[in-house]
Structure 1
Amino acid sequence: MFTLYPILSTFISSFYKSDLSTIEPIFIGFDNYAIMMKDEVFRKAFINNIWFTIGTVPTSVLLGLLLAILVNRTFVGKVMSRVFFFYPVVIPMVAVSFIWLFFYTPDYGMINSILKLIGFEELNLLGNSGTALLSIIIMVIWKEAGFFMIFYLAALQNIPKDLIEAARIDGASKWRQFRSVIFPLLMPTTLFSIIIATTNAFKTVDQLVVMTQGGPNNASNLLLYYIYENTFRFMDYGRAATVTVIVLMIMVSIAAIQFFAADKKIHYS
């Protein structure tokens, strides 16, 4: 009811023209898909989403792994460090967007205040086509790294100590222990994290609504925000359904490729 029916309904709607110029939806076949392929804004949002995925997925997953390794050791303040790294995850994305909007704001924003203090010129990070998407990427990495840290931390604590001890007795260095023993046993967690991070990269919309509205000149526009605009701003439900189907196909394809390509190389025990 809540998954299959909406998917089927959206798929059917993608074959209809349903906007403010039509009283009743009109069946137009694959015309919506043909229009999408020619739409410059769609192509821009699609390319942006690819770069956004490349920028956020490997970095946030790797940073999560490094943080997990760091807080898995015994040291004073270990619990507080875990809380500190995980805290961004529990903050709502809208609140995070307003926090980082303050960081990026020209004139009185924290970043520009620091730049002025040390004698550099101000930067309009969200108002520049070359830095808007990168600014969003940095914010998302900051928020998601702690999420993946928790999964890696749980996986690290479940690795049998005798395996690491055996490698140490055999003369393996710390790096060799990690490369040959620890990391292979973390591969299920890595695959899970990559899939989650990839799907999250195609579900980005809250921060765009708050921070850039896809601008400037669609430099930070992503596919889900493009769907949001067509649905609620332009009231073009047929086009929005078409892009939704395309995004769904992309996400399913990526997940399938990751499962079938990587699953054979993963040790589950």
Structure 2
Amino acid sequence: MSAHANLERRRQAIYGWLLLSPAAVLLTVFAFYPSIATLWSSTFSRGTRRKPTEFVGSENYMDLFADPIFWQVVKNNLFYAGITIPVSIFIALAMALWANSKISARGFVRTAYFTPTVLPMIAAANLWLFFYTPGLGVLDQIGSMFGLPSVNWLGQPETALWAIIIVTIWKEAGFFMIFYLAALQTIPEDLKEAADIEGTSRWTYTRRIVLPLLMPTTLFIAVNAMINSVKLIDHLFILTKGGPSDASKLILYYIWEMAFAFFDAPHAAAMTILVIAVLGIVAAVQFFYLDKRTHYQ
């Protein structure tokens, strides 16, 4: 019996590893190895024909911390994330609650909300470029009807980042709405009927029952929104290219600029490692703390 039990355990272990191997191979090839290679590259200097690459340790990281543009980009990205994440989630929740209610043309409303999500990023950016164009854009045309002056929305440091934020919220809110809509449809109707019997108002039912039940979905959406906030690059290419005066430059665009415009791969690798480290810390907090609280464990 002991030998048979050991053989069975061995078979189960082999079976488990076979199930895990496809995911392990993909993670190794597309996540672990590139991360390690990037970390290794960040410890070397930028090589030239006269001066070959040499090991410099943490010097590239120190250069970043001493670079005022780096801190400007970090500030921009924190502000961008601080606005887009909560506003997108709030609008997505409001749209889902409305689209899930018993209204006429509910299918049309859901389709209208979701339409910006299916547009390609470049197409969406070009659409908003038409809105923002000084003098000819839709926004200036509407403003001229009320006697307002023309505004160069993408050409002023005060408005450029806000213009990018509006495009992102418009693009992501409909996508997040789908997750909320799916979660709302899993809430049992018995809870609503019991609340109606008790005479509970619609606001109280939403605040005390619906929102707590949506917390796991909210956490999932918040994590995705946070990841999206550090990987925006398509809109910047079309709308501002990080300008003016780095006012709308975000982290991923800055990494691309260092690596492929300035050909400074070591500093780009160092900044990539910093981004991975921050995202890893946030993921750890989500896994070990927030996940249990949102699932009420």
Same fold by TM-score greater than 0.5: yes
SS of residue matched to 1:2: helix
Instruction: Pick from 29, 37, 41 the counterpart of residue 57 of structure 2.
Output: 29
* Counterpart residue identity of residue 239, structure 1: H
The 1-side partners of 2:152 and 2:234 are apart by 21
The answer to whether residue 278 in structure 2 is matched with residue 250 in structure 1 is yes
Identical amino acids, percent of aligned pairs: 43
Instruction: Give matches, 1:1-269, under 5 Å.
Output: 1-20=29-48, 24-267=52-295
Higher relative contact order (CA 8 A, sep 6+): 1
Instruction: Please list the CA deviations of residues 188-242 of structure 1 after superposition, one character each: whole Å capped at 9, or x if unmatched.
Output: 0000000000110000111111111110000001110100100110000000000
Instruction: Please list the CA deviations of residues 7-63 of structure 1 after superposition, one character each: whole Å capped at 9, or x if unmatched.
Output: 110011110113546664311000000000001111100010000000100000111
- Shifted more, 150-159 versus 22-31: the winner is 22-31
Instruction: Please list the CA deviations of residues 137-171 of structure 1 after superposition, one character each: whole Å capped at 9, or x if unmatched.
Output: 01100000001100000000000111222122222
**For residues 8 and 211 of structure 1, do their structure 2 counterparts lie closer, same or farther at Cα, with a shift above 3 Å needed?**
same
* Counterpart residue identity of residue 33, structure 2: Y
The 2-side partners of 1:20 and 1:120 are apart by 53
**For residues 21 and 203 of structure 1, do their structure 2 counterparts lie closer, same or farther at Cα, with a shift above 3 Å needed?**
farther
**What do you get for the CA RMSD once the two structures are aligned?**
1.5
The 2-side partners of 1:84 and 1:4 are apart by 40
- Tell me if structure 2 keeps the 8 A contact 1:19–1:235: no
**For residues 37 and 173 of structure 1, do their structure 2 counterparts lie closer, same or farther at Cα, with a shift above 3 Å needed?**
same
The 2-side partners of 1:22 and 1:41 are apart by 28
- Tell me if structure 2 keeps the 8 A contact 1:184–1:267: no
TM-score (norm 1): 0.96
- Tell me if structure 2 keeps the 8 A contact 1:20–1:236: no
Number of equivalences:
269
The 2-side partners of 1:163 and 1:259 are apart by 29
**For residues 209 and 41 of structure 1, do their structure 2 counterparts lie closer, same or farther at Cα, with a shift above 3 Å needed?**
same
> Unmatched 5+ residue regions in structure 2?
1-28
The 1-side partners of 2:38 and 2:134 are apart by 41
- Tell me if structure 2 keeps the 8 A contact 1:204–1:224: yes
The 1-side partners of 2:50 and 2:96 are apart by 54
**For residues 108 and 79 of structure 1, do their structure 2 counterparts lie closer, same or farther at Cα, with a shift above 3 Å needed?**
same
> Unmatched 5+ residue regions in structure 1?
none
The 2-side partners of 1:200 and 1:75 are apart by 32
The 2-side partners of 1:64 and 1:30 are apart by 42
The 1-side partners of 2:46 and 2:99 are apart by 53
* 1:264 positional shift: 3.1
The 2-side partners of 1:22 and 1:242 are apart by 23
